[in-house]
Amino acid sequence: MAKKTKKTENKEPKNIIITEQKITDTLEVNYMPYAMSVIVSRAIPEIDGFKPSHRKLLYTMYKMGLINGTRTKSSNIVGQTMKLNPHGDATIYETMVRLTEGNGSLLLPFVDSKGNFGKQYSRDMAYAAARYTEAKLAGICNEVFGDIDKNAVDFVDNFDATMKEPVLLPTAFPNILVNPNQGIAVGMASSFCSFNLAEVCEATIAYMSDPDCNILDYIKAPDFPHGGEFIYNENELSNIFETGRGSFKVRAKYRFDKKNSCIEIYEIPYSTNIETIIDKVILLVKSGKIRDITDIRDETDLKGLKIAIDIKRSADPEMIMTKLFSLTPLCDSFSCNFNLLIDGRPQTLGIKGILKEWVRFRMDCIKRRTKYDLDKKNTKLHLLQGLSKILLDIDKAISIIRNTEVDAMVVPNLMSGFEIDEQQAEFVAEIKLRNINKEYILNKIQEISDLVSDIADLNALLSSDTKIKRLIAKELKSIAKKYGSPRRTSIIADTETKALKAEDFVEDYAVKLFFTAHNYFKKIPMSSLRTSPEQKLKEEDSILCEIECTNKADVIFFSDKYNVYKMKLKDIADSKASVFGDYLPNILSMEENERILFCLATTDYSGYVFFAFENGKVAKIPLESYATKTNRKRLINAYSSKSPLIGIRNADGDCDLILVRDTDKALMFNTELIPLNTNKASGGVQVFTMKKKSFITKLFTADEFVSENKEAYRIKKLTSSGITIPEDDKESNSIPGQINIK
């Protein structure tokens, strides 16, 4: 240990050199090349509708002869693609999966697949390994690679310069608009929705004829592989078509099996998946936001997608689906950002801008293809013109070849003998001995007139952009007829969708409210109450109010300090019979020493509230006086403070009330005798004739008062001194002495 320590002490410290560098220089040298590589060579599609990874894979399959041949193992395709794309077999196979018909990601798949390639609409339905699946190019690829061997596009070296690959693919239709395409680069992103092939072809033809045409007349709306319902809003769609940015909504399609009380969802938005939807629905059920769903299952099979939702037989399936559309990805937004590379530069374009660039690109492809065909035909014509001169004297040509002693002199001798150039002489010299006859040469020469005509047509095509556009239109019509299909995503107007209010999201179920003398409050679902009817209360506590209503109701509490407290029942948690409930001073933020006297529940604020005061007056206040446009939880001066309050009652309309004066007198009256007063602080009208030092002690409804002859207490007009209470009625109604609520 000592030696090691000594060596450590003698060791000289390294010189650490720190140099300052501007952050802008660091970004420019180290970060910008990476950012540009991601933007240009990875994440953003080009005008042909492909990213580099797609292009490399499809071109490899084309070179493997898979455009017309039989399927081969996917692992073979992946291995061959690595000659162009060295980023690993896993990423190449994942790219291939998305392009397959089996995965269902594209409206117009490019790969004809066999085996399990998973499903785009399922997060958990994984694709099989490459060694188990097979693939070849789909028929539409004939329109993608049709001109690639005729110099229609540029070719560049691959990563190790061992072979060539195309910069773009000469797609004969605007693939950039036909298939969905999304990518995230550095500092920018791209998101293309898909449109119906036939509609896109029709719109392109119309645009070439009239650049000022209305694209919405041809492309109705986006069209997705999964179908669903597109919620049409013309302003939103027009903005997307013009700017290339914006968002729209797509919702699921469903049917209701009335026999089994089951909602079957069979098409979902492209931007979501089955598992996400099911997880969200389960969460809503567990949180109590939706109570009418009893089960949800994934019943997707070989016949297609299906999510089964079992509901209660009493439930409204349309209302449930409306809530699910609002609360789950069953109705989802798709954000558009039509960002693509044009000549290596990212640009965000609207539909017309994209069509303009595609038409320019396609015209260039056709010009290059035409130039290639023209060069081939000119070369052939030139050779046949030389052959026609040989026809004048075949024997002379044979004699020249036979009498030439040196092989290298055959071509020069033919050139001088017939006044033809070297290329023509080489062609004549290469003719087989058996073909040096008049018949063969005449047949060949007959092609000259056809070649002259073809060359004239090709020159006319090259010199006329109008003719090139007509050719493009002809090709588009053929493609639309051959590969076009009806729309999968149907269109509904946004006015047809039901907009839910906040209260619509509140689950509507029957509840019973309990309010006790010690100011405890319980909201118990009726379904729970049936199993546990006995209420747990504190010692010496008693229930003052029992109210049956729904969870959508508002509950109103009247306090002894002339305040009203309001709450929505949905904001109060469900309780059980086995607990005390919520202590109101805690949940209402009441004043110190304030006590709740009475509570009621309402859904529409109809009916009246009746206040009985110690001075014999009764106030009749419409319940709507306590309704507020804002969500106020506390109202002051909720009732009169001129005389102590004896009791509060409420009813949907006029009813019979009974007032008890002191301990000996009572009267019953109908509240229609009391004029309505919208002023909450009204002191009311005199009902009982009061003696000196007498006061009202109790308030009853007719149903609450126990008597064999209630009508004996009735008065026909205000005011009255009341009727003497028999002893039996005193005992039945607990009227032994004075009771005052103060």
Q: Look at the block and give the residue holding tokens 């729904």.
A: 550
Determine how many CB atoms are found less than 10 A away from the CB of residue 43: 22
Cβ distance 656 to 670 under 8 Å?
yes
Q: What is the pLDDT at residue 504?
A: 66
| Distance of alpha carbon 75 from alpha carbon 81, whole angstroms | 10
Q: What is the pLDDT at residue 436?
A: 76
For the stretch 645-670, what's the b/e string if a residue is b when 16 or more beta carbons lie within 10 angstroms of its beta carbon?
bbbbbbbeebbbbbbbbbeebbbbbe
Q: What is the pLDDT at residue 491?
A: 95
Chain centroid, CA 484 distance in Å: 25
Strand order in 685-686's β-sheet?
645-651, 608-613, 617-622, 685-686
What letter would DSSP give residue 304? B
Cβ distance 451 to 380 under 8 Å?
yes
Cβ distance 526 to 584 under 8 Å?
no
- Omega before residue 719 within 30° of 0, cis: yes
Cβ distance 534 to 577 under 8 Å?
yes
Burial of 70 (0-12, 13-18, 19+ CB in 10 A): exposed
How are beta strands 262-267 and 245-251 bridged, if at all?
Answer: unpaired
* Type and span of the H or E element at 545: strand 543-550
Cβ distance 36 to 42 under 8 Å?
no
Averaged pLDDT, groups of 10, the chain, 742 residues long: 47 70 80 81 91 95 92 96 92 95 95 95 93 96 94 93 94 96 89 96 96 94 95 94 96 94 96 95 89 92 93 90 92 95 93 96 96 93 86 82 86 87 86 78 84 93 94 96 95 82 72 92 86 82 90 92 91 87 90 92 92 93 88 88 92 92 89 90 90 89 90 90 89 68 37
> First CA to last CA across the chain, in angstroms?
91
How are beta strands 229-232 and 490-493 bridged, if at all?
Answer: parallel
Residue 608 among the catalytic residues: no
Q: Look at the block and give the residue holding tokens 């909504």.
A: 249
Q: Global pTM?
A: 0.78
| Distance of alpha carbon 462 from alpha carbon 620, whole angstroms | 93
Q: What is the pLDDT at residue 21?
A: 79
* Type and span of the H or E element at 660: strand 656-661
Q: What is the pLDDT at residue 127?
A: 95
Q: What is the pLDDT at residue 15?
A: 73
Q: Look at the block and give the residue holding tokens 């320019």.
A: 360
Burial of 29 (0-12, 13-18, 19+ CB in 10 A): exposed
| Distance of alpha carbon 417 from alpha carbon 395, whole angstroms | 12
Catalytic-labelled residue, pool 62, 132, 254, 520: 132
Strand order in 262-267's β-sheet?
253-257, 262-267, 307-311, 293-298
